[in-house]
Chain A
Amino acid sequence: MGATFAFAESRDGNLRKVAFEAVTAARQAADASGGGEVHALIVGAPGIAARAAELGKYGADAVAVAEDAGLERYSPEVFAATSAERLRTGAYRAGFFAASAQGRDLAPRVAARLGVSLASDVTDFEIQGDAVLARHPAYTGKVIVTLRLVGAPALLSLRPGAVAAVEQPRVARVEAVAPAIAPGAARVVVTEVSQRSAAKLDLGEASVIVSGGRGLRAPENFKLVEDLAAAFGNAAVGATRAVTDDGWRPATDQIGQTGRVVSPNLYVALGISGAVQHLAGMRTAKTIVAINRDKDAPIFKVADYGIVGDLFEILPRLTEEIKKARASQ
């Protein structure tokens, strides 16, 4: 029997989708090692404990909550020390984090504190005896590496969206714990935060991403991309580096090797050529749609559905038809 651990990421008083994915993975790992318990950890500002029960829905047996007024924002040192302390309390088989911006910072710190190895940005894993096998796209997504992690706990960070959250409801015990170090003692201090509008859906959370490339021709034409995203209801807007470099969209919208790596259910590429560096960020999407006027554009090689043509002609109609299709459901 092996208990497993999941770090449940939160933001602005709510659990993020990646938190449910981490708990789902921890549940799968525990079941595959003979059915141990899943223990989750939430770290945040006072009030976050009210969210703990939600993790039970995805298979957590116990949720430890470290609340402190100084933890409204991510504090690497406090989060890492508290995660490491929780992982030391039990004989955990495996521990799961999100490979989100926060998790990519947090998980390696926790691993080093515990002196164990970490498989990063994992898209799929299995328990094999004493080892954990983890798949990870490397070399800008051109090679899939299967990693063998030995020792316990085996730590993994999961690519957002790669492991779908699955409900396996149970009633989770909730326990308040103290942060392992006082937030005031952290050496790295956040002095300013410029928040983007809260209404905007994050690329890592979105099940549909509509992205635009240089084919949009001008920043104001991204209105067409935003309209299509709005028609899907639950879509975020992404961009290529050609677009973010020119300042048409913020750098944080960039998808690819040097930007965000995403795995949505649906990725719609509009006026994007499909350079390898862009593909590195989206090729694990479940379904890819491409619209490009060049029938030889490399994006069509990875697209499940391609339309060759002028996006300025196609987009308005597509937005209308998507709206209609969703209204008729």
Chain B
Amino acid sequence: MLKIAVCLKRVPEMELRFSIAADRKSLDQGGLKYEISDFDGYALEVGLRLVEKEGAGEVVVLCVGPDGVQETIRKALAIGAARAVHLKADEVPFDGLAIAKALAAELKDGGYDLILFGRMATDTASGTVGPMTAELLDLPCVTALSHLEIANGRGTARRDLEGATETVEFPLPAVLTIDEGIARPRLASLKGIMAAKKKPLEVKPAQLGQVSLTVEAMAMPPERAGGRIIGEGSDAVPELVRLLRTEAKVL
């Protein structure tokens, strides 16, 4: 029996054009489309495979956010999660600690063998919620895994550190954050989509607590003064080297 929690975030599709709302501190919601954050999709896939291999158990999806996240939750249920908990909050704070507190409060007595996260959410790109949740629950934690095996109540994982690859071992229960490429995420089948409508989805208030990291402003990155083509073919090389030396001063 493996009981696995997968914490998912709903994020805007990153391929779209973003613009900043009039308050200068949020995204213009018009035209945004949402999806499961990339790495979280890998975490879901890892959870499903582990339960399938074990032959017994379930994957439970947790998601913090407004009512709109239920669409994302249904997607995860359609892909294969057994049930879900929606931790309801009017908005998802940028503060990873607040989110971790809400998740930890729900996970604490859940009896999970593994709690999985993506390496980071693609919107806030912070990667803090997983390891913070682990600390709040006082559980062993390995981040940014590229390989994972579970056997006899222990896990073996591989993670890439700069310049080296580590193999680590840890006891269950544990918190893991998953890097991409570990397993190709499956798509929802039609049968899965139908079944998802009937799967249990529990709604509870998110106990975010105090938020001490907030968004002060959002802006588009300064346009790089880029776009300067200095020439064609190898004849442009001397000019490039001159500019690197005299203007960019990198030689």
B-binding residues in A (CB < 8 A): 11, 73-74, 76-77, 80, 100-102, 104-105, 107-109, 111-113, 115-121, 133, 136-151, 187-196, 200, 202-204, 207-208, 251-252, 257-258, 260, 265-266, 276-277, 283, 286-289, 295, 300-310, 313-314, 317-318, 321-322, 325-326, 329
Interface residues of chain B: helix, strand, loop or mixed (majority)? mixed
Q: What is the total of A-B residue contacts with beta carbons within 8 Å?
A: 273
Distance A107 CA – B96 CA, assembled complex (angstroms): 12
The chain A residue with its CB closest to the CB of B251 is A325
Contact B128 A108 (CB under 8 A): yes
Q: Is B5 an interface residue (CB 8 A)?
A: no
Q: Nearest Cβ distance between residue A8 and chain B, in whole angstroms?
A: 16
Query: Which residues in chain B, 153-203, are within 8 Å of chain A measured between CB atoms?
Result: 156, 160-171, 179-181
Distance A174 CA – B145 CA, assembled complex (angstroms): 36
**With a CB–CB cut-off of 8 A, which chain B residues contact A136?**
125-126
A146 in complex: contacting residue of B127, B165, B217, CB < 8 Å = B217
Interface residues of chain A: helix, strand, loop or mixed (majority)? mixed
Distance A202 CA – B96 CA, assembled complex (angstroms): 29
Distance A117 CA – B129 CA, assembled complex (angstroms): 11
Binds A, one of B48-56, B75-83, B107-115, B231-239: B231-239
Contact A313 B234 (CB under 8 A): yes
Q: Known contacts A150-B212, A194-B164, A286-B250; can you find 14 more A-B pairs with CB under 8 A?
A: A111-B132, A113-B135, A121-B125, A138-B123, A139-B12, A139-B122, A146-B217, A148-B216, A191-B156, A207-B250, A260-B162, A300-B229, A307-B230, A314-B234
- With A150-B212, A304-B248 in contact, is A251–B160 under 8 Å at CB? yes
Distance A260 CA – B250 CA, assembled complex (angstroms): 22
**With a CB–CB cut-off of 8 A, which chain A residues contact B144?**
101, 104-105
Distance A118 CA – B171 CA, assembled complex (angstroms): 28
**With a CB–CB cut-off of 8 A, which chain A residues contact B234?**
309, 313-314, 317-318
Contact A118 B97 (CB under 8 A): yes
